[in-house]
Chain A
Amino acid sequence: MSNELPRQEIHNKEAEWLIEAQKGETNAFTYLVELYQKPVYSLCYRMLGNAEDAEDAAQETFMRAYKAIRRYDNKRPFSTWLLSIAAHHCIDQIRRRRFPIISVEELPFPELSEPSPGLETILVSNEEKNRIRSLLNVLEPLDRATVVLYYWYEFSYQEISELLSLSLSAVKSRLHRARRAMAENWIQIQPKFEQLDFNSNKSGCNENFLMERITP
C-alpha cells in the first residue's frame, strides 16, 4: 500500500503535467523530462551502445516530444508514446551509421585520478557493457528494439507491435530470430569473457590485467 500511494500520486501529477505541457508550459514538460530521463536514456543506450550517442538521442527524443506534445493522444500511455519516439529515432540513427563509431568510454583506460570505484570495478563494469553491446550488436535495429523493449521494459507483444508499428506476428518472428542470433553470439563471445572474468578474479593480478587490456 505504501508503494501504491506515491505511484498513484506520480500518475496524477503526470496527468497534470501533461495537460499543462500541452498548453505550452515548459516547466511542466521539464518535470516529465525529470521523470522519464532514465527509461529513455536507457533505451537509447541499449540501442546505440555508447553514452555519448545515447545522451544525444535521449535529448533529441525529449525535444521531439516537446514539439509534438499537442498532438499526443491522452488516451495512450505517455511512456509508450515517448519510448516509441526514442526507439524510432535510435533505429534511424543506426541505419544512418556507415562506419562503426568507437566511443571514448570504450577505450580501456580507467580514470586513475578517482580511486573510489577501483580499477577492478571499472574494468568489470566495462566488460559488462561490452558483453551487452556484443550481444545486441549482431541484431538488426528493429530486432534490437524489440529485444530491448521486451526484456528491459517488459512490454507485451501487443504493446511492442503498437510502439514499433509492426504486426503481432512480425514482433514474434523478430524476437525468435533475435533470440537465436543472440544465443549463437553468446556461444562465440562467452569464452572470451569467461577468460577475462577469470583474470579479473585472480588476486594481485590487476596490474597484469590492466596491461593486457591496454596493450594492443
Chain B
Amino acid sequence: MNHQPYLEWIFSDGEIGLDRLNQQQRYEFDQHLNSCSSCRSLFSAWHATEVYLQNQSLISPKPGFTSRWKLRLEEDRKLFHRRQTKVTLAVSIGGSLLLLVLLFLLTWPWLRSPSLLVWTWIYNIFIMYSYVGLVNEIIVRVIQSATFVIPITWLIILIGILSELGVLWIVSYRLLTNPRRITR
C-alpha cells in the first residue's frame, strides 16, 4: 500500500494540505484511514499535537529581566574597557620593545668598537667647521664686491633705509596680529 500521498496530505498545509482536498481526494483519504491503522494513528497524533502546540502560550522571564540586562551591559562595558586597556598596553610595550631592538641593532657595531664612534663624530665636526668657513668666505666676498661697485656712503644709506623698513614691518605686524584689548 502506498502511504506517501496520504502522509503528504496529513503533514502539509496550504496548497497541498487537507483543507484543499476535493471531494474525490477527501473520499480516498477517508477510505485509506479506515483501512490503514498506521496512517490513522499518525493522523490523530498529529491533530492532537497541533491542538496542543496551538494552546501553548508565550512564557515570561523571571521578574527583573531588564535590570539584569542593564547589569550585564555594564559588566560587558567594563570588560570591553579592560580589554581595550590591555590591548593598548600590549601594543605600547610591544612597540617600545621593537624600537629598543632596532636601536640596539643600529648601535651594535658602534658599541662593539667605540673608537669608530669617536672618529665619526670628529669627522662630522670637521665637516661642519669647513662649511661654516665656506659660508663666511662667501659673505666676505659679496661685501667686498658690493663696496667695489657701490660707494660706501650709498651703502650706509641703503642699509639705514632697509633697517627702518624692517622696523616698520615689525611694528605693523605686531599691531595687526595682537588682539585688541576690550575695555568697558
Most B Cβ at <10 Å: residue of A39, A41, A179, A187: A179
Of B63-71, B88-96, B160-168, the one contacting chain A is B63-71
| Interfacial chain A residues near B11, Cβ < 8 Å | 176, 179-180, 183
A41-B59, A58-B65 given; A184·B45 CB < 8 A: yes
A176-B11, A183-B11 given; A39·B58 CB < 8 A: yes
Closest to B54 in A: A151
- Interface of chain B: mostly helix, strand, loop or mixed: helix
Q: How far is the CA of A180 from the CA of B76 in the complex (A)?
A: 43
Q: How far is the CA of A63 from the CA of B68 in the complex (A)?
A: 12
Is B147 located at the chain interface by the 8 A CB criterion?
Answer: no
* Cβ-defined contact, B41 with A187, below 8 A: yes
Residue-wise, chain A 41-83 has the 8 Å CB interface mask toward B (1 for contact) of: 1100110000100110011001100100000000000000000
A179-B11, A186-B48 given; A30·B69 CB < 8 A: yes
| Interfacial chain A residues near B84, Cβ < 8 Å | none
B46 to chain A, nearest CB (A): 4
Is B61 located at the chain interface by the 8 A CB criterion?
Answer: yes
* Cβ-defined contact, A26 with B41, below 8 A: no
| Interfacial chain B residues near A135, Cβ < 8 Å | 49, 52-53
Chain A: residues with Cβ within 8 Å of the partner, total of 37
Is A190 located at the chain interface by the 8 A CB criterion?
Answer: yes
A39-B58, A186-B48, A187-B41 given; A176·B12 CB < 8 A: yes
Q: Which of B56, B60, B66 contacts A34 (CB 8 A)?
A: B66
A152-B56, A176-B11, A183-B11 given; A37·B65 CB < 8 A: yes
| Interfacial chain B residues near A63, Cβ < 8 Å | 69, 72-73, 76
B47 to chain A, nearest CB (A): 9
Q: Which 7 residue pairs are nearest across A and B when measured between Cβ atoms?
A: A183-B46, A42-B58, A41-B61, A183-B45, A179-B11, A186-B45, A151-B53
Apart from the given pairs A51-B62, A182-B49, 12 other A-B contacts in the complex at a CB distance below 8 Å: A33-B66, A38-B59, A41-B61, A41-B65, A55-B61, A55-B65, A131-B52, A147-B53, A152-B56, A186-B48, A187-B45, A190-B45
A contact residues vs B (CB 8 Å cutoff): 26, 30, 33-34, 37-39, 41-42, 45-46, 51, 54-55, 58-59, 62-63, 66, 128, 131-132, 135, 147, 151-152, 157, 172, 176, 179-180, 182-184, 186-187, 190
| 9 A–B pairs (Cβ distance < 8 Å), ordered by A | A30-B69, A41-B61, A172-B12, A176-B8, A176-B11, A179-B46, A180-B11, A183-B46, A186-B46
